[in-house]
Amino acid sequence: MKELKTDLLIIGAGPGGMAAALYAKRSGLDFIIVEKNMAGGQIINTDLIENYPGFLDNPSGFELAQKLSEHCKKFEIDIMEYFSIDKIEEADHKDGGKTYKFKSTGSDSYIYSRALIIATGAKPDRLDVKGEAEFIGKGISFCATCDGALYRGKEVAVVGGGDTAVEEALFLSNLVDKVYLIHRRDELRACDMLQCRARDNGKIEFLWSSVVEEFVGDEKLESIIIKNKNDGSTRKIAVAAAFEYVGWEPNSDMIKHLVDTDQKGFIIADMTMKTSHEAIFAIGDVRNTPFRQVITAVADGAVAAMYVDKYFLEQG
């Protein structure tokens, strides 16, 4: 079994992870950054980013991810893409001190790191209703930017009431004939600007205080059964697709045996991004943050990297 050593391991190369890498590089830290998929994280699937400072042309999430990757390359930061980690273990390294070891899936090498920055993000929650599992990829999607063009000129549904749900409903309205926006409350949670745009959009119909009871179809999704929470009535809506935006589930399985998490599994971290366990930091969507935005993830990454540097200076 081969052994490799580094001072810092950054797991995840979304905006937060790449920001952490840039600050770690500037601090002269010895580090490795790995990513399970393609660098960029969830923003790759975002159609338009209007609120990232300094980008007046409103780039797509993919374009912003490319810019961040190019910035890393400029500083000779090598992002190890498609590098999957099974589980992180605590270990006493032969050189002394507290270390953490991990092995990539299918690898015969252990890598030891003195500190960790967990930037693994989160994945979409599911509704867990009848027919959902059957029609994922056959009409049910979690990314309008990815799949919206498949349903040009048709009627679709969006489930959710937050920023992402409304943003994607607006995006879809440019492609389809009609968007049913299904929300379990009687008002949206999205920001005022997005709410105004959605209400002014003639292609979006709001179904308030409603939940999805069942997804129906033969070989692909054909309709949705909706239940009104106030009066218990049901309604069947013919749609070609449904896009779900009902929350997030943290990608914390590899580390939650070592750190404190909340009830949903989001890692609890303080204002320095430090977790309950020594030299483990959590940033971005995987931590218990009140906001999950590109800019907050980037800020988390910068803070974490600076406090990792401070930690090493204190350790001597």
* Catalytic residue positions, numbered: 143, 146-147
Rounded Cα–Cα distance for residues 17 and 21 (Å): 6
- H or E element that contains 315: helix 294-315
Rounded Cα–Cα distance for residues 211 and 219 (Å): 23
- Give every CB contact of residue 23 below 8 A, 6+ residues apart in sequence: 301, 302, 305, 306
Beta 241-244 vs 140-141: how paired, if at all?
parallel
Phi, psi of 119 (to 5 degrees): -130, 45
Rounded Cα–Cα distance for residues 182 and 198 (Å): 13
Place of tokens 């990792």: 308
Please measure the distance between the N-terminal and C-terminal CA atoms of the chain and give it in whole angstroms. Answer: 30
Phi, psi of 250 (to 5 degrees): -70, 145
- H or E element that contains 114: strand 109-118
Phi, psi of 45 (to 5 degrees): -90, 5
